[in-house]
Structure 1
Amino acid sequence: MSDDPYVRLAAVLDTIPNGYAHTEDGTHLKVLQWIFTPEEAALASKLKLRGETAEEITARLDLPLEQTTELLETMVEKGQISGWISRSAGMRKYALMPFAIGIYEEQLGRMDEEFAKLCQEYFEKTRGGSLFNTAPPIFKVVPVNKSVSADLIIHPYEQAEKLVETSASWGVRECICKKQRGLIGEPCSYPTTVCITLAPRRENAFDDDELTTPIGKEDALRLLRDSAEAGLVHCTMNVQRGQTYICNCCTCCCGVLRGLTEYDQPNAFVDSDFIINVDSDLCSGCGTCVERCQFGALSIPEDVSVADKDRCIGCGVCVIECPEEALELVPREGRGEVEPPESLLDWMTKKAMVRGLDPSELL
């Protein structure tokens, strides 16, 4: 492997199931050079995805403990790696993160115009790479309950409200996607502080998080409702348990949803269990749903709304503002027996298999 710490780190990040797409002109290396110093990149390239204490890391890599611990703490502060107190061991642990979702999102506090433009160049050249174009999808669209047919049995992982209600801590962040677009001169017209962070089991989890403002459960539910009314799409990690965020997304900023709008079948790139159904007897053809749909999935060729089921991602944004209550989400055909991966580890395992990777050395 190359002696260049950035080349090594890029290679390691691409062995993580999420992937880190490379570019022929080295833009992917410029992104890492902005985030990491050479010393930081060298250490990050040798960390594991599972947590290790500073003592374990320095023993494995034959590095001085005090100096390395200081560097690890600096890297945590800069959002380059994760660091936490293990509840079982009662000790500080450190771990490598995927580039997305992970390192990139943790640059929220550091992002400036230079980095925003660099990321735009990288996104345009890679379009997300293997993160978006291999199964299983990274995002699962979760509708607000009122948009779903009332007689439908909905699993907990299909309900945005349920994810909030069953968490132990809640927080809110500025959306890094919206911040990035604003810094390159393309500001978003939607609300920007809309990223809900969740801690499924730990109370007061965000009290010391500089990027996250702790909020209560009712505030999180209110933010969810306000985001839906504004026309934003609820997305979370495509797993059955352990979700740690709900992104409230738009197609003008979100890296995933922006990619979807450029393809003829947006629903093939995110996981969604539902699809829109129009009651033609109730529909007045007012066009409200057409205006609210960010995916061009609804049109009024004659007197009533018609759904393009290849473009619908089942978010329900159109449903909640329909004045005639002529819209509802129904199960997508063939989805009854399909379940998302059980956990993040299960998701990563399946992603690795599809990509032909063996990330065991990182685990």
Structure 2
Amino acid sequence: MDEFLQSYVKKYEQWRNDRDFSVSSRVISVNEAFFGSQRILALEQVIQVFKDSQEFALAECHCRVQYDRCNRPRETCLLIDDAAVRALEKKKALRITLEEARMVIRQANVHGLVLMTYYLPGKRINAICCCCPCCCHDLQLLLQYHRSDLVIGSDYIAETDTDRCISCGICVERCIFRARTMQDSHFTYDPTLCLGCGLCVSVCPEQATSMELNPRCDMI
């Protein structure tokens, strides 16, 4: 584990020892993953966070700047309240409109980025980030170092209609949690590994996959 990740683990453990902290982040289902009224609800849940905030701003992704391992967009970190104020004062962020925030979220889906809320002690959300597995500190801790205690899945889980699925494998390429795999040219799915990001749903050509409420998801 490199020094950058170690610094986050040290901070998280201190917050946990002080009993001010339960998890560092939570996955949010991308809005394109929902059909009908659920699609609107998923997007509006994210936007409502900004409506309820005193200040919000857009900044570069600290993790992608740190690691520089991919060519995904960097201006994707949506800061909230105190975090936004500090970044604006240091001229490290830009004020944006709600519609611009919507565009950032939609663009995140295009690039296969996972939407995640980040928490401070006291269960306060300080950012909604668009995360990649190769650079994000929490996704690295989860996927490489198995720190599942730090990241909570969304309220939803993907479900696939096997009768409609044509085993094209497109969703497998989008699943960073390795819940979706191909075995002997056939699609397989382990729902216990799904954290409900919804990236698989928005690319399915047969609309065979949808997001359903996740009965095993723990609320913060």
TM-score of Structure 1 vs Structure 2, range by shorter chain: 0.7 to 0.9
The number of residue pairs the alignment matches comes to 212
Q: Secondary structure at the match of 1:294?
A: coil
Q: Quick one: distance in 1 between partners of 2:36 and 2:145? A: 31
The Cα shift of 1:299 comes to 1.0
Q: Quick one: distance in 1 between partners of 2:199 and 2:148? A: 15
Amino acid at match of 1:175: C
Q: What is aligned with 1:339?
A: 219
Q: What is aligned with 1:142?
A: 28
Q: What is aligned with 2:207?
A: 325
2:99 counterpart of 1:213: no
Q: TM-score, normalised by structure 1?
A: 0.50
Q: Quick one: distance in 2 between partners of 1:145 and 1:222? A: 11
5 Å-filtered alignment, 1:284-323, equals 284-302=166-184, 304-323=186-205
Q: What is aligned with 1:224?
A: 105
Q: Return closer, same or farther for 1:333/1:149 CA change in 2, 3 Å cut-off.
A: farther
2:128 counterpart of 1:246: yes
Offset from partner CA, 1:39-59 (integer Å, 9 cap, x none): xxxxxxxxxxxxxxxxxxxxx
Q: What is aligned with 2:160?
A: 278
Q: Quick one: distance in 2 between partners of 1:313 and 1:132? A: 23
Please report the RMSD computed on the Cα atoms of aligned residues, expressed in angstroms: 3.6
Amino acid at match of 1:300: M
The Cα shift of 1:319 comes to 1.3
Larger-Rg structure: 1
The Cα shift of 1:280 comes to 0.8
Q: Quick one: distance in 1 between partners of 2:81 and 2:7? A: 31
Q: Quick one: distance in 1 between partners of 2:80 and 2:93? A: 11
Q: Secondary structure at the match of 2:107?
A: helix
The Cα shift of 1:268 comes to 4.8
The Cα shift of 1:278 comes to 1.0
Amino acid at match of 1:190: R
Amino acid at match of 2:199: V
Q: What is aligned with 2:79?
A: 197
Task: Select which of 48, 51, 58 maps to 1:172.
Answer: 58
Structure 2 unpaired stretches of 5+: none
Q: Return closer, same or farther for 1:280/1:249 CA change in 2, 3 Å cut-off.
A: same
Identify the structure with bigger relative contact order (alpha carbons < 8 Å, sequence gap 6+).
2
The Cα shift of 1:216 comes to 1.1
The answer (yes or no) to whether the contact 1:278–1:306 under 8 Å persists in 2 is: no
Deviates more, 1:204-213 or 1:312-321: 204-213
Deviates more, 1:246-255 or 1:292-301: 292-301
The answer (yes or no) to whether the contact 2:179–2:193 under 8 Å persists in 1 is: yes
Amino acid at match of 2:159: N
Offset from partner CA, 1:131-169 (integer Å, 9 cap, x none): 2796721101111234246576x9889932332344454
Q: Quick one: distance in 2 between partners of 1:124 and 1:193? A: 21
2:115 counterpart of 1:234: yes
The answer (yes or no) to whether the contact 2:31–2:43 under 8 Å persists in 1 is: no
Q: Quick one: distance in 2 between partners of 1:162 and 1:321? A: 26
The answer (yes or no) to whether the contact 1:164–1:221 under 8 Å persists in 2 is: no
Q: Quick one: distance in 2 between partners of 1:151 and 1:303? A: 34
Structure having the larger proportion of residues in strand: 2
Q: Return closer, same or farther for 1:302/1:145 CA change in 2, 3 Å cut-off.
A: same
Structure 1 unpaired stretches of 5+: 1-119, 341-363
Percent of residue pairs bearing the same amino acid type: 28
The answer (yes or no) to whether the contact 1:143–1:159 under 8 Å persists in 2 is: no
5 Å-filtered alignment, 1:1-363, equals 121-123=2-4, 128-129=9-10, 131=12, 136-148=22-34, 159-182=45-68, 187-199=69-81, 208-238=89-119, 242-262=124-144, 268-272=149-153, 273-302=155-184, 304-335=186-217, 338-340=218-220
Q: What is aligned with 1:354?
A: none
Q: Secondary structure at the match of 1:284?
A: coil
Offset from partner CA, 1:75-123 (integer Å, 9 cap, x none): xxxxxxxxxxxxxxxxxxxxxxxxxxxxxxxxxxxxxxxxxxxxx7424
Offset from partner CA, 1:226-246 (integer Å, 9 cap, x none): 012211011113599853311
Deviates more, 1:124-133 or 1:250-259: 124-133
